Chains A and B, each alone.
Chain A
Amino acid sequence: MRDKSASYASKVVIGVTTLVLVILLVLSFLLGRDVLRQVHELSTATSDNVQWNMSQSEVEHLQLQVVVTKAQHGGDLEHVRRHFDIFYSRMATLQEGAIYAGLRASAAGAATLASIQDRLTKFVPLIDGSDQVLRDGLPMLAAELVMNGRDVRTLMLLGLVVSTEGSDIKRQGMAKTLERLGSVILALFVALALTALMIGRLYHHGRVLRAARNAAAARMQAMVTSSLDAILLIDAKGHIMAFNGAAEAIFGYSREEAIGRKMVDMIVPDHLRSGYLNAMSRYILTGDADLIERGRVRLEGRRKSGQIFPVELSITLSQSGEDTVFVSYMRDISDRIAAEVELTKARDDALAGERAKANLLTVMSHEMRTPLSGVLGSMELMETTELTPEQSGYLQAMRVSGDMLLHHVNEVLELSQLEAGVAKEMPSHFDLAELMRGLVDSQQATAGAAGNSLALRCRLGGRPNVLGCPRQIQQALLNLIGNALKFTQDGSVTIEVERQGTGDQVQFMICDTGAGIAAADLDRIFEDFVTLDASYGRTSEGTGLGLAITRRIVASLGGEIEAESEIGQGSLFKVTLSLPMALSHREEKLEQTGELDVSKRILVVEDNDINRALMEKTLQRLGHQVTTAEGGAEAVSAAGQGQFDLILMDISMPRVDGIEAFRRIRAQKLAEGVSIVALTAHVAADDHARILDTGFAEVATKPISRRELSEVIGRHTSDKELSDAAPES
């Protein structure tokens, strides 16, 4: 801004100065010409006209006197007449001429001229008269001319004074002109001096600017040279104008090789060539800049060796006047790309590992739970037979071990299930006090084995019915009670359940007098696979997943869990859950009574012989009519032959699996309106979703307890029974 106004000001100054100089030049030229003219005039006025005339007056008067004297002695009268005329004419000039105005203006001059003129007028009759008259008048003429001569003399002296004054005036005029010329020349000199001063200042200013520009250029050069990115300057025709050190290193060309050559020929890979040329010509034609000023763009470059490598590119446009220069910054990002590829691969590998682990767990769950459900089911059946006390003891031991094994397997599976967020239990009404009692009763044996007392205190204000997810609550509390019992020897474990005021919050406190947990460990006990203190390894075998699962369950129920502990004193786990009060448990009662009432026709499809037999026995004991099928194909034909209220279908079967069998039954419309429930040991989330997508009414996970089984049957046959009943009545 300042520079602009400064340059504007200096332009004005230059303009004004030029104008002044021109005016002064013209003035001095005119004045000079005037002076020359005057000098010339002075040099040519060799005889002063006034003085000449004045002296001529005297001369001519004298000549007149001479011829008059001669005439008195018989001279030619004509001479008298001629000289009279000459003198007369001269006097007339003095009377009339402008140059004698000064003489006439003076009193003495005017008087003298008048007296001369009087005499001449008096002479005229003589001169113009006959020769005789003239000759007679000659003496008088001569006498008068003597007096006249004095007047002429006086006149001449007066004229001298006047003409001197005149030339004085002329000289003064000349002096004035010279003075004026002098002042103009002085002004010219001053103006020239000012101009010189200004030029000096401009020169100095220019030097300062040039120094600054040189410094800036040097800095810029240093920046460009030391830049880690390749910097190329490209002119509008695509020729390289500058090529820095980094560019040499990246592209392998030396500066000398690069400068002046076309960029496209050097560093643009062949497959990008046409694109680049198009962009260039489009820019030149339309000014439409594709790549320019777009920030970083990822492209490919070519080294001198022909190697193509990834570059990150940023082009800016520098426009100075008509000159367009593309400044292009390029960075070799081969290393970064390589690192990115490596990182991606590592991540993919890790994900693949995770997937493999999940797969392993899924497979393991199936492989382990299937035989396990056979073992546990058999034991369940065996308990109903006549047993000796000894046999009962062994069976009890088997039962404990089997339960523990199932517990471990379930824990692992539970984790993957929770991770996957599947099988979320729907809230239902249940009796919390009853659930707690059952839970504590089931653990009494474990407690007794370690010499622990296990006590339950419920303070639910006589309103034990709540709305919640009993299975998950049970699971979470079982984990905590199991842990408390595991880490307590000959102590006590107390479970307190208390509703907070009249609100929805119910607090569960599991308090033990066991080993306790170090404060430093308290924070990480809820992490996965944490088993504290190796010394407890013997007594506290486990997966280390218990608390992690508990935390997940509590979180999924929207509750909170916290732990307090002191080494040697024991631990306290507090779980707070939202369990709104429910009215009664009549529904449940109805359900329970309904369990044994109605007999259903059920088709059980199961490839495992033991499990199939167990299922058949269990269902028969519940009062149902059971038909069995060993595989998918058999199931399809059985469905075609008999009438069923429900089909329980195993999914994993050789040859025709459960899903295929389902499709065939539905496709052939063999069991219209009959619900088909899937039985599976697969607990993975995507499995469940896949099965339900096929059209199964529900997915029941094996091993399935008697109670669960009766619930499933109740859910999927009641409608059917009603619709059947209607036409019969």
Chain B
Amino acid sequence: MTLWKSVFGAIALAVIPVMGLATDPDPNAPVVLSVEIPAGSDNGAVTDFTMADLRVLPAVSFATHTIWTEGVQDFTGVSLAALNRHLDITEGTLELQAVNDYVVEFAVSGAVDGGPIIAYERNGAPMSRREKGPLWIVFPYDSDPAYQTEEVFSKSVWQLVRIIVRPEK
């Protein structure tokens, strides 16, 4: 299984960027996520991501239960760790903001490989805003009891629209 997963992952890694590059980016495509690194730090900037931008990044898939859904759900998305690497974010906390103004902080150190992802597909289909989409921070809850705490649940932000990187206090 692991072998197949990794093989699949390798194929996905190899194929997706090609697809991304092949399709011309639509200049009118809506921004789904803004990542804001405050000015003053070396890489201070605001990075906007369209869905296509996100899909260019390495995709991760896993299946898990959640307390907000019924049955096993397949999630696919960009891992927070990969996003952090992409944007050269190594420390501090991530302030995750939802469309309903829900805000919660998440330590950069918690964004590990095999950990939380920014899911953009659930059960093989993109998620509408009515279905907690289009982006949802999901943890592989079933893989580790440590991901089954209220704290983790509170950080499972759905309808994610913005991430602000805060330096460590």
Interface residues of A (CB under 8 A from B): 41, 44-45, 47-49, 52, 56, 60, 63, 82, 85-86, 88-89, 92-93, 96-99
Q: Is B91 an interface residue, CB under 8 A from the partner?
A: no
Q: Which segment of B13-21, B62-70, B75-83 sits at the interface?
A: B62-70
Across the two chains, which residue of chain A brings its CB closest to B128?
A85
Q: Does B151 contact A88, Cβ atoms closer than 8 Å?
A: no
Task: Give the docked Cα–Cα distance between A566 and B70 (Å).
Answer: 148
Q: Does A86 contact B159, Cβ atoms closer than 8 Å?
A: yes
B128 contact set on A, CB distance < 8 A: 85
Instruction: Give 5 pairs: A residue, B residue, CB < 8 Å, sorted on A.
Output: A41-B150, A82-B129, A85-B99, A96-B68, A97-B69
The residue from B70, B150, B159 contacting A49, defined by CB atoms under 8 A apart: B150
A97 contact set on B, CB distance < 8 A: 66-69
Q: Does A98 contact B151, Cβ atoms closer than 8 Å?
A: no
Across the two chains, which residue of chain A brings its CB closest to B133?
A89
Known: A49-B150, A86-B159. A93 touches B100 (CB 8 A): no
Q: Is B85 an interface residue, CB under 8 A from the partner?
A: no
Task: Give the docked Cα–Cα distance between A437 and B159 (Å).
Answer: 171
Q: Is B43 an interface residue, CB under 8 A from the partner?
A: no
The residue from B65, B66, B129, B154 contacting A89, defined by CB atoms under 8 A apart: B129
Across the two chains, which residue of chain B brings its CB closest to A59?
B100
Q: Does A44 contact B151, Cβ atoms closer than 8 Å?
A: yes
Task: Give the docked Cα–Cα distance between A300 and B68 (Å).
Answer: 106
Interface residues of B (CB under 8 A from A): 65-70, 99-100, 102, 128-132, 149-151, 153-154, 158-159
The residue from A44, A47, A85 contacting B130, defined by CB atoms under 8 A apart: A85
The residue from A45, A49, A89 contacting B158, defined by CB atoms under 8 A apart: A89
Task: Give the docked Cα–Cα distance between A96 and B149 (Å).
Answer: 19
Across the two chains, which residue of chain A brings its CB closest to B129?
A85
Task: Give the docked Cα–Cα distance between A60 and B153 (Å).
Answer: 19
Q: Does B100 contact A86, Cβ atoms closer than 8 Å?
A: yes
Q: Does A92 contact B154, Cβ atoms closer than 8 Å?
A: no
Known: A92-B130, A92-B131, A98-B67. A86 touches B99 (CB 8 A): yes
Q: Does A89 contact B151, Cβ atoms closer than 8 Å?
A: no
Q: Does B149 contact A82, Cβ atoms closer than 8 Å?
A: no
Task: Give the docked Cα–Cα distance between A93 and B68 (Å).
Answer: 5
Q: Does B65 contact A82, Cβ atoms closer than 8 Å?
A: no
A96 contact set on B, CB distance < 8 A: 68-70
Query: How far apart are A37's CB and chain B's nearest CB, in angstroms?
Result: 9
B158 contact set on A, CB distance < 8 A: 89
The residue from A47, A48, A85, A99 contacting B67, defined by CB atoms under 8 A apart: A99
B159 contact set on A, CB distance < 8 A: 85-86, 89
The residue from A45, A85, A93 contacting B151, defined by CB atoms under 8 A apart: A45
B66, B100, B128, B158: which has the most chain A beta carbons within 10 Å?
A: B100
B70 contact set on A, CB distance < 8 A: 96, 98
Task: Give the docked Cα–Cα distance between A198 and B159 (Å).
Answer: 67
Question: Chain B at the A interface: mostly helix, strand, loop or mixed?
Answer: loop
A44 contact set on B, CB distance < 8 A: 149-151
A44, A63, A89, A93: which has the most chain B beta carbons within 10 Å?
A: A89
A82 contact set on B, CB distance < 8 A: 99, 129
Query: How far apart are B155's CB and chain A's nearest CB, in angstroms?
Result: 11
Known: A60-B100, A86-B99. A49 touches B153 (CB 8 A): yes
Task: Give the docked Cα–Cα distance between A56 and B159 (Å).
Answer: 14
- For the A-B complex with A93-B68, A93-B132, A98-B66 known, give 6 more contacts whose Cβ atoms are closer than 8 Å: A45-B149, A56-B102, A60-B100, A63-B100, A86-B129, A89-B132
Across the two chains, which residue of chain B brings its CB closest to A94?
B68
Q: Does B149 contact A89, Cβ atoms closer than 8 Å?
A: no
A41 contact set on B, CB distance < 8 A: 149-150
Task: Give the docked Cα–Cα distance between A98 and B153 (Å).
Answer: 13
Q: Does A98 contact B129, Cβ atoms closer than 8 Å?
A: no
Task: Give the docked Cα–Cα distance between A66 and B155 (Å).
Answer: 28
A47 contact set on B, CB distance < 8 A: 150, 154
Query: How far apart are B56's CB and chain A's nearest CB, in angstroms?
Result: 26
A92 contact set on B, CB distance < 8 A: 130-132
Task: Give the docked Cα–Cα distance between A89 and B70 (Å).
Answer: 14
Q: Does B130 contact A88, Cβ atoms closer than 8 Å?
A: yes
Q: Does B150 contact A45, Cβ atoms closer than 8 Å?
A: yes
A49 contact set on B, CB distance < 8 A: 67, 150, 153-154
Query: How far apart are B160's CB and chain A's nearest CB, in angstroms?
Result: 12
B102 contact set on A, CB distance < 8 A: 56
Known: A47-B154, A49-B154. A89 touches B69 (CB 8 A): no
B150 contact set on A, CB distance < 8 A: 41, 44-45, 47-49
Task: Give the docked Cα–Cα distance between A52 and B102 (Å).
Answer: 11
Query: How far apart are B140's CB and chain A's nearest CB, in angstroms?
Result: 16
Lowest 3 A-B CB distances belong to which pairs?
Answer: A45-B150, A85-B129, A97-B68
Query: How far apart are A62's CB and chain B's nearest CB, in angstroms?
Result: 12
Task: Give the docked Cα–Cα distance between A93 and B129 (Å).
Answer: 13
Task: Give the docked Cα–Cα distance between A41 and B145 (Å).
Answer: 12
Query: How far apart are B136's CB and chain A's nearest CB, in angstroms?
Result: 10
Task: Give the docked Cα–Cα distance between A423 and B154 (Å).
Answer: 142
Task: Give the docked Cα–Cα distance between A49 and B102 (Å).
Answer: 13
Query: How far apart are B43's CB and chain A's nearest CB, in angstroms?
Result: 31
A60 contact set on B, CB distance < 8 A: 100
Task: Give the docked Cα–Cα distance between A37 and B27 (Å).
Answer: 50
Across the two chains, which residue of chain A brings its CB closest to B150?
A45
Query: How far apart are A30's CB and chain B's nearest CB, in angstroms?
Result: 15
Query: How far apart are B148's CB and chain A's nearest CB, in angstroms?
Result: 10
Task: Give the docked Cα–Cα distance between A41 and B100 (Å).
Answer: 26
Q: Does A89 contact B130, Cβ atoms closer than 8 Å?
A: yes
Query: How far apart are A284's CB and chain B's nearest CB, in angstroms?
Result: 68
B66 contact set on A, CB distance < 8 A: 97-98
Task: Give the docked Cα–Cα distance between A393 and B166 (Å).
Answer: 179
